[in-house]
Structure 1
Amino acid sequence: MSDRPKLDKNLDGKTFREFYYLKEELVDFCRRYGLPTSGGKLEITERIAHFLDTGEVIATKKVQKKSQIIGNITTDTEIEPNFVCSEKHRTFFKEHIGNGFSFNVAFQKWLKSNTGKTYADAITAYYRILEEKKSSKTKIDKQFEYNTYIRDFFADNRDKGLDEAIKCRKYKKQLPGHNRYEKSDLDVLAK
């Protein structure tokens, strides 16, 4: 098994990208070397790789969300710009959809990208999204590598358990290259 290199300033960006590091490790690195720690794992990874290759610290861009005062929401109300899920929104959707309502990722994305449409449109979209989820494999966003790996592992190994999937995932994280499931990852189970 290939040993994962220690994450420090002597590493180059290319080597760094070949291995898996936990977000906590990335944040710790940023604190040690004065890099901003804000953002998601992918953003922090880019920041560290740039620092390792150039020695430059990329400043983060301040994103300021305008807080909107939401009045009474009706089915005719238009979805506001910079939509943010709030308790008022949750209450509205629970009243119209039922207690089983939840802000799933696909629905949140729909709300944020459909400013100006009505909340009646949102309710229709919510039901459509639920139907689509039933009939197709949900796309897992890139930052959720663990979830993607486990799902792909079980799709290929219905006879295996979660402990085996986790053991294969841990093995895979120690190898250079991508962190997606491959049949060869099962080799670690024979050891």
Structure 2
Amino acid sequence: MIERPSLDKHLDSRTFRDFYYLKEELVDFCRKNGLPVSGGKIEIAERIAYFLDTGKVMPAKTGKRTAAEISEITEDAKIEADFVCSERHRAFFKEHIGKAFSFNVAFQKWLKANAGKTYREAITAYDQILEDKKKGKTVIDKQFEYNTYIRDFFANNPGKTLEEAIKCWNYKKRLPGHNHYEPLDLAALES
């Protein structure tokens, strides 16, 4: 098995992309090499790969968005462009959906992608998102590779434990290439 190389400025970007690194490792690398540390894991990884390829610092994305204000949120009001989750919005959705309401990632994405639709449509979309989640139809974003791996591990190995899933994940992330679950990963349980 190829050992995961340590993340340093002498690593080439292709090798860097072939291995899994925690966000805290990426942030630590950025701090040591004068790179911006803001943004999500994917953005930071892109910044590091660019640095490894060119030796240059890619600036962090800037531009703070300001939320458009509507005077009153009603079911017939239109979702504003550049939607920002606020306490006013949370109160509205709790009133119309229930106390268990939360701004889950899928719903936040829906709101941001559907400016101009009504809040009534948002309520319907929220219910559909919860149904899809119950049926396992939701997609986990790329930066949550661990969550995706664990979900896929259990889908393929219903009798296994979380401890076994984590052992296989730790084995997988040390390998070059993708970090998706494969039945071959069960080799980690034999050692």
Amino acid at match of 1:48: I
Percent identity between matched residues is 68
Deviations 1:48-84 (A, max 9, x none): 1111111111112202111444432111222111111
Matches within 5 A, 1:88-99: 88-99=88-99
What SS is found at the alignment partner of 2:53? helix
- Asked whether the equivalents of residues 67 and 83 of structure 2 are also in contact (C-alpha less than 8 Å), the reply is no
Amino acid at match of 1:13: S
TM, length-normalised to structure 2:
0.94
> 2:20 aligned with 1:20, yes or no?
yes
TM, length-normalised to structure 1:
0.94
> 2:140 aligned with 1:140, yes or no?
yes
Deviates further, 146-155 or 98-107: 98-107
- Asked whether the equivalents of residues 76 and 118 of structure 2 are also in contact (C-alpha less than 8 Å), the reply is yes
> How far is the alpha carbon of 1:108 from its aligned partner?
1.3
Equivalent residue pairs, number: 191
Deviations 1:89-126 (A, max 9, x none): 11111111111222222221111112122212211222
Paired with 1:139 and 1:18, the residues of 2 have a C-alpha distance of 22
Match of residue 190 from structure 2: 190
Paired with 2:155 and 2:171, the residues of 1 have a C-alpha distance of 19
In structure 1, runs of 5+ residues without a counterpart are: none
In structure 2, runs of 5+ residues without a counterpart are: none
Amino acid at match of 2:89: H
Matches within 5 A, 1:57-96: 57-96=57-96
What SS is found at the alignment partner of 1:4? coil
Over the aligned positions, Cα root-mean-square deviation in angstroms equals 1.4
> How far is the alpha carbon of 1:136 from its aligned partner?
4.5
> How far is the alpha carbon of 1:131 from its aligned partner?
2.9
Matches within 5 A, 1:1-191: 1-191=1-191
